[in-house]
Amino acid sequence: MRKRLIAALAALSTTASFVVTAVAATVITAAPAQALENGLARTPPMGFNNWNTTHCRAEFNEKMVMDMADIFVSRGLKDVGYQYVNIDDCWAKTQRNAQGNLEPDPVRFPRGIKFVADYVHSKGLKFGIYTSAGTKTCNTAGFPGGLNNEQRDANLFASWGVDYLKYDNCNNQGVDAKQRYTKMRDALAATGRPIVYSICEWGQNKPWEWAQNVGNLWRTTGDINDTYSKMVDIFKRNLPLAQYAKPGAWNDPDMLEVGNGGMTPTEYRSHFSLWAIMAAPLLIGSDLRKVSQENFTTLLNKDVIDVDQDRLGIQGKQISLSGNNYVISKPLSNGDYAVALFNNNSSTQTISTTASAIGIGQSSAYNLKDLWSKSTRTTTGAISASVPAHGTVMYRVSKGVRTPPAAGTHQVSDLSWDTASNGWGPVEKDRSNGERPAGDGKTLTINGTTYTKGLGVHAASEVSVYLGRACSAFSASVGIDDEVAGSNGTVVFQVFADGTKIADSGTMTGAMAAKQLSGSLANAEQLRLVVTNGGDTINYDHADWANPTITCG
């Protein structure tokens, strides 16, 4: 198989020579794992498939497919890794032509499939197609399938420039699944074109036990739909199969529903997080012309995508399950670990684990990055979060060493922080909080007095700094920034040394002058600077920690 594939790849046209070289090199150097040796899908495929949003309706047509390719480029999907623009069932006529070949529906695809594939390729993307390992595809209209036409269809797909084949399981005439899918594998290899091979066998014959050297990915379940309950059911079925996934061979829990409207944004973030930590293919199943900005932001989360696309290629494993709360851990190629805390309950839950439990190994400290809120903190081992109903908190965990501040007096804005959370926008260093992107604030100003150093925050906020029992005192001037007019804004500033409150401003409004806060940090491991909303809303709660200093040594 390996020698035949390399020879076939060498015959590709010069326009694809760079692909040939890369693929052939991968095949030659790949470890002798049980995976289809075509050098493809070394990370889970990412892209689009129309089925979940169109099924066989009329809006599935040439224009839609080309629009998706355009949006991949214009909205940044290509930049974060989405690559395949795939079409599903109903693209063909219901009968083969006189030569026995499949033909595209002239209404849906008036300029043919090769025209669309060429357009997709012109955008620097890849094109995928669908058929079934039976006499007909799954739609009741009866489109012809590939059974006993494997080489004919594979040759046709290759001539059109197809890069990905989804091969379904309908009308299979009872022919053994291994036989049907292996025959198409060999037909694709014989074309000499690198084509990712997706086995859509629905998990009926436990393909995870035999398909590693047949396909690049295999469906582990029946079809998904746009409901939270179905998404969770499929997640539960796919999660225990981690041992079978590896580079070039992936468990496939079906396509994404993000943006189709049947789940909440929180549930869609869980859907995306769970698929990513399970190293699942990320194939968008929504019409990107209609997806809300919030759900589009979910699809573009590069930190979560990086977990899915990690080149180590290990599917995350369940570490614990208690009261419908899941902890799932996935090792990453640089030594980090990803951990997902999934709350499959109808109320907020606190979900906890430890660095030891997720398997990262011993360290004096660990860095945690929340891949959705983007906040960071350090821990000596505890990993915990308050997770909303049907929500998922996802961390990237790395080993770190915490060192206390050196002897002397330090501005808190000049130090590294353990945590920094904020009601609006990021915590700003030496600027007020402008609510949106970093750096959009102004000079810190409280009741007409300006300050060059400090923190601009927005309630509710917390900043923590590791002290390591090396510091003795804290001081700061605090108040609501003048960018909030008049008496708007109501906040309370609080200072904690570990769990002990050492200073409290009481309720402050925008009409008040700065207050001086100070307290002892003797023997404290951590300083925490907290701003609450003063008991009302967080409107206008732009709060300044002016000249917050610690004395150490």
What is the greatest pairwise CA distance in the chain?
Answer: 89
- What secondary structure does DSSP assign to 203-239, as a single string? TTT-GGGTGGGT-SEEE-SS---SSHHHHHHHHHHHG
| Tokens 């499929």, located at residue | 234
For the question of residue 223 being annotated catalytic, the response is: yes
Contact in structure between 281 and 217 (CB atoms under 8 Å):
yes
The strand pairing partners of 461, in sequence order, are 531
Give the type of residue at 120. V
Residue 324 half-sphere exposure, CB side, CA atoms within 13 Å?
Answer: 14
Q: Beta 444-446 vs 449-451: how paired, if at all?
A: antiparallel
Structural tokens at position 441: 């604030």
Can you read off the two tokens belonging to residue 237?
């079925």
DSSP percent split of the chain into helix, strand, coil, nearest 5:
25, 30, 45
Token pair for residue 542? 């732009």
- The token duo for 284 is 């968008």
CB atoms within 10 A of CB 254: 26
What DSSP assignment string belongs to 239-261?
GGGGGG-BTTBEEE---B-TTSS
Let me know: does 90 contact 141? Beta carbons within 8 Å: yes
* From 163, 168, 252, 287, active-site residue: 168
For 229, half-sphere exposure in the C-beta direction (CA atoms, 13 angstrom radius) is: 0
HEC sequence for 165-178: EEEECCCCCCCCHH
User: How would you classify residue 423: left for phi > 0, otherwise alpha for psi between -120 and 50, otherwise beta?
Assistant: alpha
* Residues whose CB falls within 8 Å of the CB of residue 242, separated by 6 or more in sequence, listed in order: 251, 278, 314, 315, 316, 317
The 3 state secondary structure assigned to 458-512 is: ECCEEEEEECCCCEEEEEEEEEECCCCCCCCCEEEEEEEECCEEEEEEEEEECCC
CA distances from 221 to 207, 209, 390, 441 (A): 10, 14, 21, 50
Among candidates 122, 103, 101, 102, which has minimal Cα distance to 111?
Answer: 103
**Catalytic site positions:** 168, 223
